[in-house]
Structure 1
Amino acid sequence: MDKPTTVTAAVLVIGDEILSGRTKDRNLGYIAEYLTKIGVDVKEARVVPDIEEEIVAAINALRPRYDYVVTTGGIGPTHDDITADAVARAFGVPIGEDPRVIAAMLQRYATGDLTPARRRMARIPATAELIENPVSIAPGFRIGNVYVMAGVPAVMQAMLDFAVKSMKTGAAMRVETIEAGGVPEGRYGDPLGAIAAANPDVSIGSYPSYKDGRFNNQIVVRGKDERAVAAAKAAVEAMLAEFSRDAAAR
């Protein structure tokens, strides 16, 4: 049987406000969930400050490793919005006002209202394709395998709907969640490790939570092969059933 196709991505979150804690990032989880559903696996995420050298270094580290790099933040109208310049530098291309963006802005703003700050959002690296922004007009852009989008969640989400149209996709991830109830991780850790070793085509994780004064654990099986996921799920369920029988016999 052919191995399921895998398409990979990294997410680069840009902004001092994220690192300082002033702004709570809402984009990474949204992007990861969105891409996973369409068959693009997010394999890495980074957060970098509004420093051009840091942005350039991150882009050039990520783009050879993954099929796509998705960035959020730093394409607004203020002095610290330097992502477009950093991306241009990373690709070694010039940057300037894009007449396509100016034309789009003039559909919303009078010529006199097109301030230098607003025009700053029209600066696009040469050769880049625009990513439509139906919310606030100023677009994102794609150059090579790097997709550059806004940091404002509502705007980013609208851009992502448009951006993914040009992405190739692989096999979608299949996810099965098994409730382990009150069985502590310390009891099933070793047999779960054995199940994981016996099922190398899937990823198996254990995720505890604490609520109402007690722990509750979930075991999650993830993979692209439906039969492999089903087999691993069955093994986990059999393991938990054995623990239940042992508990009942005491």
Structure 2
Amino acid sequence: MISRLSQLARHLSVGSRSGLLGPATAAISSSSSSSSGGRVLPRAMASADERNSRTIHTAACLIIGDEVLGGKTTDTNSAYMAKWCFSLGINLKRVEVVEDDEAEIIEAVQRMSDRYDFVVTSGGIGPTHDDITYQSIAKAFGLKLILHQEAYERMKKLTKPHHSHPNFSWDVESPAKTARLRMVQLPTDESRDLAKQALFPRDTLWVPICVVNGNVHILPGVPRLFESLLEGLKPFIIERLVDPEGKGIHRVIISTPMSESSVASYLTELAAKVEPKGVKVGSYPRWGKKNNSVTLVGRDIEYIESIAPEVIENVRGKRVNSEDEED
């Protein structure tokens, strides 16, 4: 209870910064900024179009669904996104899971949109009453839910008949049609180019990637769809990556028989030495296994490769392609 009260107090003390006062007054800390028109603007002043065009340094993932928090299903989408971001050189800074609760979704998506360049949400866009992602995100940014005509036409064309609705017709109003229409009523900013607000990466899927506030990308929670659409998103963002050639981030994994405590001092010195080069040193115990893991992660491949032999020698290790290679 004390922890919950302290969190509430903290949110109230930074009301406008966390977005609790609504999109018009939502702001981020002054340390984050972006360039526009030759001058530096606080991120909260950035327009949706500016957010939609800025270089992508950081990302966040919001998983939405009671079934994940209740243990009914296991979230695999955040892990897939983590690997996807790593391969593209995007720094995934945060992953959160929230329940199907409007207030929770609004708070999280406003905060993430303000703080990170690229945001992906997963889940809560189906036809049932508990699928409230679209309506919640629309409220978060003061938008209307509007039938997206292209998504609707694609839905009619690509949706296969289902045995539970043998007499279903798109030309006849029915509860089933109303439920389906929930999935193509998208948060829409009528002042902006509609083509930037709904992307269709796959010709075989009617499901759009709805883009809100320029940097929030709403994806379905079904892993097969999430993965396909996320992969299809690459061509839309490739030119905005730190490294448009897609070299991504480099990782060296070293398997060592030494305990963490025996290499801790060396790794502390190493981390301080390589940090100015943008390299992170990781140490991971592997309980019940004969070896532990040390990793070197960064963008400067040549530098990482130049120090790898020294690290291997100092931890009496061996370079491997995966942590379990030596098991």
TM-score when scaled to structure 1?
0.87
Q: Distance in 2 between matches of 1:52 and 1:135?
A: 31
The partner residue of 1:142 within 190, 208, 211 is 211
2:252 aligns with: 176
Q: Name the aligned partner's letter for residue 102 of structure 2.
A: E
For residues 26-65 of structure 1, what are the structure 2 equivalents within 5 Å?
A: 26-65=76-115
Partner SS for 2:225? helix
2:185 aligns with: 123
2:227 aligns with: 157
Q: CA deviation at 1:136?
A: 5.1
Q: Distance in 1 between matches of 2:255 and 2:217?
A: 37
2:265 aligns with: 190
Partner SS for 1:63? helix
Q: Report if aligned partners of 1:199, 1:228 keep a CA contact under 8 Å in 2.
A: no
Q: Distance in 2 between matches of 1:215 and 1:189?
A: 18
Partner SS for 1:78? coil
Q: Report if aligned partners of 2:271, 2:281 keep a CA contact under 8 Å in 1.
A: yes
Q: Report if aligned partners of 2:56, 2:118 keep a CA contact under 8 Å in 1.
A: no
Q: Confirm or deny that 1:15 pairs with 2:65.
A: yes
Partner SS for 1:141? strand
TM-score when scaled to structure 2?
0.67
Q: Distance in 2 between matches of 1:162 and 1:241?
A: 42
Alpha carbons of structure 1 residues 241 and 210: separation in structure 2 relative to 1, 3 Å: closer
> Which 10-residue stretch deviates more, 227-236 or 84-93?
227-236
Q: Confirm or deny that 1:73 pairs with 2:150.
A: no
Q: Distance in 1 between matches of 2:61 and 2:230?
A: 12
Alpha carbons of structure 1 residues 6 and 93: separation in structure 2 relative to 1, 3 Å: closer
Q: Distance in 2 between matches of 1:6 and 1:192?
A: 30
Q: Distance in 2 between matches of 1:227 and 1:24?
A: 38
Deviating beyond 3 angstroms after TM superposition, the runs of 4 or more aligned structure 1 residues are 133-136
Q: Report if aligned partners of 1:204, 1:221 keep a CA contact under 8 Å in 2.
A: yes
Q: Name the aligned partner's letter for residue 199 of structure 2.
A: I
2:283 aligns with: 206
Q: Report if aligned partners of 1:195, 1:235 keep a CA contact under 8 Å in 2.
A: no
What is the aligned length? 235
Q: Name the aligned partner's letter for residue 216 of structure 2.
A: V
Q: CA deviation at 1:39?
A: 1.9
Larger strand share, 1 or 2: 1
Alpha carbons of structure 1 residues 63 and 232: separation in structure 2 relative to 1, 3 Å: farther
> Which 10-residue stretch deviates more, 50-59 or 163-172?
163-172
Task: Report the identity percentage.
Answer: 32
Q: CA deviation at 1:207?
A: 1.3
2:44 aligns with: none
Q: Name the aligned partner's letter for residue 140 of structure 1.
A: I
Deviations 1:38-83 (A, max 9, x none): 1212111111110111111001111111110011000111111111
> Which 10-residue stretch deviates more, 119-128 or 217-226?
119-128
Q: CA deviation at 1:236?
A: 1.4
For residues 225-236 of structure 1, what are the structure 2 equivalents within 5 Å?
A: 225-236=300-311
Gaps of 5+ in 1: 243-250
Q: Distance in 1 between matches of 2:316 and 2:151?
A: 61
Deviations 1:82-104 (A, max 9, x none): 11111111221111221112111
Q: Name the aligned partner's letter for residue 118 of structure 1.
A: R
